[in-house]
């Protein structure tokens, strides 16, 4: 039986060419890319459509009492912070022309999110 293996470095290199800031988010934070591909009948079986959607999400800690997050300013007057982890969407993109175009569309929002972190 063949051993399962992946090539994350190869995937990240391709992603860095299409969407460099999305690649930076994946390398710098606990993050993931979620993709949805949907198909549809255009008009009574005459043609079809395919839509690619990508979502870039970052793992975030949020206080259930005051709403403080990992990426926001600290709130010092909250007594007894109670943090919970959840995935927070920071960028998304959509295209009918392929996954690479959807990632390129997500790149614009990823650039804005990264610029607010600096």
Enter the pTM of the model: 0.76
Tell me the three state secondary structure of residue 79: coil
Record the tokens describing residue 105, joined without a space.
Answer: 């569309």
Higher pLDDT, residue 118 or 51? 51
Domain ranges within the chain, ordered by starting residue: 8-117
Mind listing the pLDDT tens digit for each residue in 10-47?
A: 455 688 888 999 999 999 999 999 999 888 776 666 66
Inter-residue contact 68 to 75 (CB < 8 Å): yes
Closest CA to 50 of 60, 42, 58: 42
92 strand-pairing partners: 55
Contacts of 92 (CB under 8 A, 6+ apart): 53, 54, 55, 56, 106, 109
**Interacting residues of 1 by C-beta distance below 8 A, sequence separation 6+:** none
pLDDT of residue 69: 87
């Amino acid at each position: 039986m063949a051993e399962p293996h992946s090539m994350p470095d190869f995937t990240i290199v391709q992603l860095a060419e299409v969407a460099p800031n999305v690649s930076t988010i994946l390398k710098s934070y606990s993050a993931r890319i979620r993709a949805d591909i949907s198909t549809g009948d255009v008009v009574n079986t005459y043609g079809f459509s395919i839509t690619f959607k990508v979502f870039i999400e970052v793992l975030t800690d949020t206080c259930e009492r005051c709403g403080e997050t990992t990426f926001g300013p600290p709130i010092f007057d909250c007594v007894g912070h109670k943090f919970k982890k959840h995935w927070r969407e920071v960028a998304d993109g959509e295209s009918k022309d392929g996954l690479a175009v959807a990632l390129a569309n997500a790149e614009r929002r990823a650039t804005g999110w990264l610029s607010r972190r600096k």
